[in-house]
């Protein structure tokens, strides 16, 4: 049994963590939880994540859930891979800022759009993400004409942001803007990203692939 166990489903946000794991390059064991058999709601998995959601990892007995938290954890536990600025680097602040901007405003804004929620002006003041126009404008400003969101090298923040933008543009919850397309194309061509896609695509049931 591996010291690093990854719980996922290939048709979920687990694809983000799969990419991160492939970037890290450490051995890991995959446990696929099938929706149709209710694996994520089984008592065994609920003991790991009471939310019954994927992804999750267990590393040396440490349980970590939530995509951004898993990415941040793996980047820190395996610093030799260089997926996060050093702890005392001035880049650490903007790295956290954009990693969690993906987990917060982007995630919330895209989810709201997916369920056709259009916040009123008053609601925008109360909601953390405000509105999707402001969120996407902030992202576009941050990545326009820049290869990386922080500094001059690829980090977990790029991985997380590129994953969200790619997913959203594919399914129509994020509009296709030239800056987004350029940024995503640069990062999804990384060898680890391509490996992760191949692994997850091979795990999708044939009947699900035919419906997608």
pLDDT string in tens for the chain (212-residue length) = 569 999 999 999 999 999 999 999 999 999 999 999 999 999 999 999 999 999 999 999 999 999 999 999 999 999 999 999 999 999 999 999 999 999 999 988 888 888 787 877 777 777 777 788 999 999 999 999 999 999 999 999 999 999 999 999 999 999 999 999 999 999 999 999 999 999 999 999 853 443 33
Q: What is the pLDDT of residue 128?
A: 73
**What is the per-residue pLDDT for 137?**
95
Among the four given CATH numbers 1.10.3720.10, 3.90.420.10, 1.20.1050.10, 3.10.20.310, the one describing domain 92-190:
1.20.1050.10
Say if strands 56-59 and 62-65 run parallel, antiparallel, or are unpaired.
Answer: antiparallel
**What is the chain's alpha carbon radius of gyration, rounded to the nearest angstrom?**
17
CA distance 157 to 84: 8
**Beta 62-65 vs 4-8: how paired, if at all?**
unpaired
Euclidean distance between CA atoms 158 and 138, whole angstroms: 15
| Cα–Cα distance, 53 to 70 (Å, whole number) | 14
* pLDDT score, position 212: 37
| Nearest alpha carbon to residue 11 among 171, 172, 161, 158 | 171
For β-strands 29-32 and 4-8, DSSP reports them as parallel
Is 7 strand, coil or helix?
A: strand
Strand ranges for 41-176 from DSSP E: 56-59, 62-65
Assigned CATH topology for domain 4-82+193-205: Glutaredoxin (3.40.30)
Tally of CA atoms within 13 A in the half-sphere of 103 that contains its CB: 19
Range(s) within the chain of domains with CATH label 1.20.1050.10: 92-190
Sequence-ordered list of residues with C-beta below 8 angstroms from that of 87, at least 6 positions apart, any chain: none
């Amino acid at each position: 049994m591996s010291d690093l166990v990854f719980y996922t489903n290939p048709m979920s946000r687990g694809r983000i963590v799969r990419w991160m794991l492939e970037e890290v390059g450490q051995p890991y064991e995959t446990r696929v939880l099938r929706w149709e058999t209710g694996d994520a709601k089984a008592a065994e998995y609920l003991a790991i994540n009471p939310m019954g959601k994927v992804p999750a990892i267990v590393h040396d007995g440490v349980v970590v859930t939530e995509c951004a938290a898993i990415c941040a954890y793996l980047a820190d536990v395996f610093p030799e891979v260089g997926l996060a600025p050093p702890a005392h680097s001035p880049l650490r602040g903007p790295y956290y800022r954009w990693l969690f901007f993906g987990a917060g405003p982007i995630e919330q804004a895209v989810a709201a759009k997916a369920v056709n929620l259009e916040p009123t002006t008053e609601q925008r003041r109360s909601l953390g993400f405000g509105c999707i126009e402001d969120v996407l404008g902030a992202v576009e400003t941050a990545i326009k004409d820049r290869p990386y969101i922080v500094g001059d090298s690829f980090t977990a923040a790029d991985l997380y942001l590129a994953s969200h933008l790619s997913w959203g543009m594919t399914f129509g919850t994020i509009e296709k803007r030239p800056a987004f397309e350029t940024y995503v194309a640069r990062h999804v061509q990384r060898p680890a990203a391509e490996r992760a896609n191949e692994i997850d695509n091979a795990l999708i049931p044939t009947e699900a692939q035919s419906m997608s």
